[in-house]
Structure 1
Amino acid sequence: MTVSTAHQPETEEDRPAWARRPAPGRLALVQQFLNTHAYPGHDDDFACAATAQTWLRQHIPAAQIAPDADPADYRRLRDRLRDYVRGPSTLADSTRLTRTLGHPPLTVDMSATGDITLVSAGSATEWLSGEIAAALVLAVADGSWRRFKTCANDECQAIFWDQTKNGSGRFCTPEICGNRFRQRHFRATHPQAKTAGDTPSFRGA
């Protein structure tokens, strides 16, 4: 798959906090899609047709992109997938996600060494739904899907890949979101701490 790399962050400092601990393999695209929502310093990538086209050109094979793709379709898929990550999901949640994913065209590709891969096809929406569906099935089957977490910092709520050994991570970056979350909690429980200088710095996952 060849996609444009224009406008992609070039340095570690430029990357969003959640992207500094990316999900492995095929799940990386799923994580990038999950984090197209609006958060401080970042507008919704699917707010309108123009921004949607920009994101699609950077992540989807050019042959699959239709100029009239409806951003609402992508927002709906993203938001239901984010709900699924948050969990615990109900049968109704799972049904809505299944219906939103639809029936993307997937083909089976077998290599000379016997490795089997599910390959996406179709329009941009179908291709992305297929990539997500294939990655989701494999990640749920091997248990790795549980490594996707929603950042506990309410101002962020990015979907991050929990790299802790025991799966106890709560923040996309403990040193950024974790520290901000604990500082807000400290100020809320210590109203006499009026300034940032009065608020201690915290560390931890």
Structure 2
Amino acid sequence: MREAPDGLALVQDLINTRAIRHYAPDLLAGRESAEEWLTGAAGAWARIHGLDVPDCSLSEADPAALRDLRTTFQELIAGTGGDTGSDAGGHTPTSGSGSRSGKARTAGRGASVRLAPDVEGRVRMVPVGRGRQWLESALWSETLLAQRNGTWPRLKMCRNTECASAFYDTSRNNSGVWHDAKVCGNAVNLRASRERKRLRESGAS
């Protein structure tokens, strides 16, 4: 799995909490698992930025809000070209700013940040709050920074819809579509080949 650089990895980590059939459960399904994930993700983020780990406690209602937040970021990535087209099964992902849902447009309006200088005197955005509020603040901050420095379009979701893992595209021309070409690329191409063969055989009969 190609990991996004610096704090953008937090957005990638959020998307990759989703369940993958026959492989991984939804890490945001309940409070305990969601809190465990957030503690680890926030700790990694804090180490990157040289800051203290925030309070990651969650309420019983927070996991559902985090799942909605995850959906919002999936839509944002698709809307900025992170998902590059239809998959072999004919599914066409959301793309283009005109097709984003209301959730993607309005989520995060309550997120706040604190502006503070670092040790070198450069002003940076510091997430505020605890638990879910801190995560929203951190996610929107990292998204803004990634959009400004040009790394955001390289955060994508695997075109294999049975995977849909978030990955960071390191190709020179930003043309990657699989989180792992040998695993997901081969699987999708094989399914497409079998479907074409089935259609040919049904047409000949």
TM-score range with shorter-chain normalisation? 0.7 to 0.9
- Provide the secondary structure at the position in 2 that maps to 1:117: strand
In structure 2, list runs of 5 or more residues that go unmatched: 43-52, 80-94, 200-205
The reply on whether 1:186 has 2:189 as its aligned counterpart is no
Partner of 1:14: none
- Provide the secondary structure at the position in 1 that maps to 2:167: strand
User: Which amino acid in structure 1 is aligned with residue 177 of structure 2?
Assistant: R
Q: For the structure 1 residues 111 and 148, does the alpha-carbon distance in structure 2 shift closer, same or farther, using more than 3 Å as the test? A: same
Between 122-131 and 165-174, the greater mean CA deviation after superposition: 122-131
Deviation at 1:89, TM superposition (A): 4.1
CA contact 1:83–1:89 (8 Å) conserved in 2: no
Partner of 2:127: 120
User: Which amino acid in structure 2 is aligned with residue 56 of structure 1?
Assistant: L
The reply on whether 1:42 has 2:13 as its aligned counterpart is no
Q: Distance in 2 between matches of 1:130 and 1:191?
A: 49
Deviation at 1:69, TM superposition (A): 4.8
Q: Distance in 1 between matches of 2:120 and 2:32?
A: 42
Deviation at 1:84, TM superposition (A): 0.9
User: Which amino acid in structure 2 is aligned with residue 27 of structure 1?
Assistant: L
Cα-Cα RMSD: 2.1
Using the size of structure 2 for normalisation, the TM-score is 0.76
**After the TM superposition, which segments of 4 or more aligned residues of structure 1 sit over 6 Å from their partners?**
none
- Provide the secondary structure at the position in 1 that maps to 2:156: strand
User: Which amino acid in structure 2 is aligned with residue 155 of structure 1?
Assistant: E
Which one of the candidate residues 71, 75, 98 is aligned to 2:63? 71
CA contact 1:104–1:122 (8 Å) conserved in 2: no
The reply on whether 1:33 has 2:14 as its aligned counterpart is yes
Q: Distance in 2 between matches of 1:89 and 1:80?
A: 14
Give the 5 Å matches for 1:30-109: 30-40=11-21, 41-60=23-42, 61=53, 63-87=55-79, 88-90=95-97, 93=100, 96-109=103-116
Identity %: 29
Higher relative contact order (CA 8 A, sep 6+): 2
CA contact 2:31–2:58 (8 Å) conserved in 1: no
Q: Distance in 2 between matches of 1:157 and 1:150?
A: 5
User: Which amino acid in structure 2 is aligned with residue 74 of structure 1?
Assistant: L
In structure 1, list runs of 5 or more residues that go unmatched: 1-19, 193-205
Partner of 1:134: 141
Using the size of structure 1 for normalisation, the TM-score is 0.76
Deviation at 1:113, TM superposition (A): 2.1
Partner of 1:21: 2
CA deviation string 1:122-166 (max 9, x = no partner)? 121111111111111111122211101121112111111111000
CA contact 2:54–2:130 (8 Å) conserved in 1: no
